[in-house]
Structure 1
Amino acid sequence: MMKSILLIDDEDINLFILQNLLRLSKIDADIVFFNTSQKGINYLEDLIAKGAEFPDLILLDIEMPVMNGWDFLEVYKKFQKSYTYGSKVIIFTTSIVEQDMAKAKSYEEVEDFVNKPMTIELLKSIQQEHFVN
């Protein structure tokens, strides 16, 4: 079965870089990109409505306008009550603030906290640790 990845980041350059790194790393996955958390939530709600599975991996920026990554996680947690989602969420951010790292660890949905910029080596590490199996 084809793996799937959801990327949510408000910076178009980060989405462009990630798209290219994913292509270069030859990860065999369906990849969906959104530049707002709300669009990501809408996408997940559509999957629920269709009875489709959630992505295997969600790479989530936390520093976004309007609905930030923390807001996304609060909505995402509510899905657990009505839907078995099983996605692994990785916070992907420029933040080096200790409070953000601690807050990320407080969410059982969050598997990892990774700092930008993404590199091919970091992507391969994420793939090996979180995406395989």
Structure 2
Amino acid sequence: MNYNQPTDVLLIDDDVVNNFIAETLIKRASKHTNITVCLNGRDAIEKLLSIKQESGKLPEFIFLDLAMPVMDGWKFLDEYHRLNIGDGSNSEIIILSSSVFRRDIDRALKHSVVKEYISKPLNIELIRKVLKIDHHTN
């Protein structure tokens, strides 16, 4: 991560408490992070399409829950691929789920855009690892 440039993060989770915790930890790990929150996959797809059309610069990191109403994480991944949203971008999708089932982990990691699978709860060390932050430099 370039410490002089703000980092954009999209957080997709329907649980407002988890979102608050994730936002707090991400901000603690990297003060130069802009965080956008979407409460379901459908809103996130619409947000990403809008960002792509306006600036073409998608968030560097997308934290994605799997179990959500309206559009879950699996359907989000399907739409993300179908619409070629991430085509040519450097976005890294990190699954952030309460599921620890091997089949979910394997299924998620089969998606080429999924870089990591993290089981909730999130903590500061996981955030630093995923965002590639050396805690001595930030």
- The verdict on a shared fold, with TM-score over 0.5 as the criterion, is yes
The CA deviation string for residues 33-72 of structure 1, in whole angstroms up to 9 with x for no partner, is 1111111111011012214211000000011122100100
What SS does structure 1 have at the residue aligned with 2:131? helix
> What is the aligned-residue identity percentage?
29
* Structure 2 stretches lacking a partner, 5+ long: 134-138
Gaps of 5+ in 1: none
RMSD: 1.8
Per the TM alignment, residue 26 of structure 1 is displaced from its structure 2 partner at its CA by: 2.9
Q: Return closer, same or farther for 1:110/1:67 CA change in 2, 3 Å cut-off.
A: same
Distance 1:51 1:26, change over 3 A: closer
Aligned residue type for 1:59: F
TM-score, normalization: structure 1?
0.88
Q: 1:9 aligns with which of 13, 35, 41?
A: 13
Residues 8 and 60 of structure 2 are in contact (CA less than 8 Å); yes or no, is this contact kept in structure 1?
A: yes
Structure 2 partner of 1:25: 29
The answer for the alignment partner of 2:107 in structure 1 is: 103
Q: Residue 80 of structure 2 contacts residue 86 of structure 2 at CA under 8 Å; is this kept in 1?
A: no
15-24 or 77-86: which moved more?
A: 77-86
Q: Deviations over 1:100-130 (max 9, x none)?
A: 011012100100100100111111111227x
Given candidates 57, 60, 64, the residue that maps to 1:56 is: 60
Which of 129, 132, 135 is matched with 1:125 structurally? 129
1-side partners of 2:86 and 2:29: how far apart? 35
Matches of 1:82 and 1:28, distance apart in 2: 23
Q: CA deviation at 1:83?
A: 4.2
CA distance 1:105–1:35, shift in 2 (3 Å): same
The structure 1 segments of at least 4 consecutive aligned residues displaced by more than 2 Å after TM superposition are 78-86
**Under a length normalisation based on structure 2, what TM-score does the superposition of the two structures give?**
0.85
Higher helix fraction (1 or 2): 1
